[in-house]
Chains A and B, each alone.
Chain A
């Protein structure tokens, strides 16, 4: 993996990144410069149409920008093959979506262990007793009731499901956690409890947190708030 000394200190670095969907007239993403230092908690604020999903796709290594440089944890992922980027994501990125993060046919623990299924690095990081590591991770997020862990994931409340998703995103200590509107389906109480847990666990594992939302009320507690429309020159004004 190509690494440079300066990029080593940053979790995410974007330089002159442009992304255009095939057959689209113009780019949906045009970012001159964006950087997140390691261990930082960044609140990325943007309404729909601001290129949020595209940016997460680029950083997550699913979309390849037509031009520019994308470095994640020191690796220039824009230069990697699609397979290598998938591999990199499996190793280094934990993702939490808005909702429905879990495979309905797997149990709670198996859903968490999905993080190690496609990543040898994370499988190695949790050690030989992966189930115990998953239980520890779930326990740290307040999910330790045996009955709850045995229940089908579809029986869990949305807040519980989101916490399982966080456990999965953090299992095996990936360097970067990307959360895309993870609280939008939660009520106010659950939301603040969820945010507290997310901060605490990211701090504990040392993961950089990139939190995306349109709800500025959640910005409290972050190291930095970045307005995506200001960052993205291609953003369509809402």
Chain B
């Protein structure tokens, strides 16, 4: 067996071009399969780490997944708002420990602006237990103060003291600037791996101030403008927010409050449990993931077929090799094993290279992907699934190798010692 393995490896090395290309093809397919799995896992991990310790998320009536996506992940937009009265009433409830308001709808150079309160820095948790921390500066205090997420500061090269102008709407190229009311950066957050990294945080009053002279989403006409100083003197209590996070004094009350909010008499609201909404999200995405996995599995199959083709094609030119081996006493079974070993060696090489490609690639690429897309991939260490995939690929390549191996077995039985070409 050891002798056969040596012969198999030397034989493969001798055909390094065709074998090498076969391995490359199979490697790409294995990398694709592992990559899809890794992307799936790390995306889940990234999502799951974004929100911790929040019992309920409340927004205008909508689907749970939609509410989760726009409020926490800044994906998509809210269809409606929550009135300030409703928010205060729920926030003042006995069983509520804290709330974090969220007001979205503006942006700065493609980054979303989130109006919120000090409660965010106090109560928001990510990656299970971690709190927000400042890399530089401090939380906003004044109406026109802003705190930057780590990516915003890094990408735009901003630091504390810098003046920024917010734009109306969330499109990356907005023509409606709130140029008359610039904000000053007071702090930059440490990187969190959550959408906050790509957010500009301001107070709710700040959001209110820049819209104080707007009429139902329409920019003010020249005569209607209210200056920043004038705005400061006004009552800046917002009339509505986009959504808010709720922390309860006791988790036991979660479902009771959720029901109460969903049946809220004054306006249609939706309260969701982040974990439940996440699992709903996964069940929606799960179909796509399965399709992707199936496609990648098909690509692996194609790679294996390519390998079988290569080995089968080599059969006719290797009849002499088989006759020589038979002459020195190899049994047809040895010939069978020789081809099996070659197929398994190709499969193993592809599985190892594919794994290295994926995990190396993720390790190197996670940061770039995070910057480009805002989706922070958490590198999940390979586990049972990856081991199963690698094992299956090797087993499948051995199994596929049985086809040329069987042909070689038959040929070597029929040819015997006769060297035919």
Chain A residues with CB under 8 Å of B3's CB are 117-118
Chain-A contact segment, one of B112-120, B319-327, B398-406: B319-327
Q: Is the CB of A53 within 8 A of B329?
A: no
Let me know if A89 and B329 touch, CB within 8 A: yes
Selecting from A29-37, A98-106, A196-204, the interface stretch reads: A98-106
* B192-231 near A? 1/0 per residue, CB < 8 Å: 0000000000000000000000000000000000000000
**Residue interface bits A55-68, CB-to-B below 8 A is 1, else 0:** 01100101100000
A64 CB to closest chain B CB (Å) equals 11
Give CA–CA (A53, B329) in the complex, Å: 17
**Cβ-closest chain A residue relative to B324:** A103
Supposing A105-B14, A106-B7 touch, asked if A90 and B419 sit within 8 A by C-beta, the answer is no
Q: Are B14 and A53 in contact (CB under 8 A)?
A: no
**B310 at interface by CB-CB < 8 Å:** no
Residue B333, interface by CB 8 Å: yes
B417 lies within 8 A of A118 (CB): no
Question: Which A residues touch B328, using CB under 8 A?
Answer: 90, 95, 114-115, 117-119, 168
**Is A56 a contact of B11 with CB atoms below 8 Å?**
no
Given contacts A105-B11, A105-B13, A118-B334, contact A91 B417 (CB under 8 A): no
Interface size class of B (residues with CB under 8 A): 20 to 34
Provide the A106-145 mask, 1 if CB < 8 A to any CB of B, else 0.
1000100011011100000000000000000000000000
- A105/B327 contact (C-beta < 8 A), A57-B416, A60-B417, A83-B333 known: no
Q: Is A222 interfacial (CB 8 A cutoff)?
A: no
Nearest-neighbor residue (CB-CB) of B328 within chain A: A114
- Whether A26 is near chain B, meaning CB under 8 Å from some CB there, is no
Which of chain B's residues 331-353 have a Cβ closer than 8 Å to chain A? 331-334
B330 contacts the other chain (Cβ, under 8 Å)?
yes
Does B136 touch A at the CB level, under 8 Å?
no
In the complex, whether B10 has a CB less than 8 A from a CB of chain A is yes
A57-B418, A63-B416, A117-B3 known; A97 and B14 CB under 8 Å?
A: no
Residues of A within 8 A of B7 (CB): 103, 106, 117
Total chain A interface residues with beta-carbon distance under 8 A: 30
Is A86 among interface residues, defined by CB-CB distance under 8 A?
yes
Contact B13 A100 (CB under 8 A): no
Q: Taking A63-B416, A86-B329, A118-B334 as contacts, is the C-beta distance between A102 and B324 under 8 angstroms?
A: yes
Residues of B within 8 Å of A83, CB to CB, are: 331, 333
**A62-B416, A95-B417, A118-B3 known; A90 vs B329 contact (CB < 8 Å):** yes
**A57-B417, A95-B417, A106-B10 in contact; A101/B329 too (CB < 8 A)?**
no
Task: Kindly identify which residue among B13, B324, B417 contacts A56, using a CB–CB cutoff of 8 Å.
Answer: B417
User: A87 on the interface (CB 8 Å rule)?
Assistant: yes
Asked whether A82 lies within 8 Å of B329 as measured between CB atoms, the reply is no
Q: Which residues of A contact B334 (CB under 8 A)?
A: 118
A97 and B419 contacting across the interface, CB-CB below 8 Å: yes
By beta carbon, the residue of chain B nearest A113 is B3
B66 to chain A, nearest CB (A): 62
Q: B333 touching A105 by the CB < 8 A rule?
A: no
Docked Cα-Cα span, A131 to B323, in Å, equals: 24
Interfacial chain A residues near B14, Cβ < 8 Å: 104-105
* Across-interface contacts of A63 in B (CB, < 8 A): 416
Cβ-defined partner of B419 (8 Å) among A62, A100, A103? A100
| Contact indicator A103/B329 (Cβ below 8 Å) | no
Nearest chain-A residue to B13 (Cβ)? A105
Q: How far is the CB of A57 from chain B (nearest CB, A)?
A: 5
- Known: A60-B417, A118-B334. Is A101-B326 also a contact (CB below 8 A)? no
Nearest residue (CB) in B for A154 is B14
Chain B residues with CB under 8 A of A62: 326, 416-417
Q: Looking across the interface, which residue of chain A has its beta carbon closest to that of B4?
A: A117
* Shortest beta-carbon distance from B140 to chain A in Å: 72
Contacts of B327 in A (CB 8 A): 60, 89, 95, 97
User: Within the complex, which residue of B10, B326, B418 is in contact with A105, where a contact is CB–CB below 8 Å?
Assistant: B10
**In the bound complex, CA of A155 to CA of B176 (Å):** 78
Proximity bits, A161-182, B CB within 8 Å = 1, else 0: 0000000100000000000000
Known A86-B330, A117-B3; contact A101-B324, beta-carbon cutoff 8 A: yes
Interface residues of B in 230-282 (CB under 8 A from A): none
**New A-B pairs, 4, CB < 8 Å, besides A62-B416, A90-B330, A118-B3:** A86-B331, A114-B328, A118-B330, A118-B331
What would 21 A/B residue contacts be, using CB atoms closer than 8 Å? Answer: A53-B418, A60-B327, A62-B326, A63-B416, A82-B331, A82-B332, A83-B331, A86-B329, A90-B329, A91-B329, A95-B328, A97-B327, A100-B320, A100-B419, A102-B324, A105-B14, A117-B7, A117-B329, A118-B328, A118-B331, A168-B328
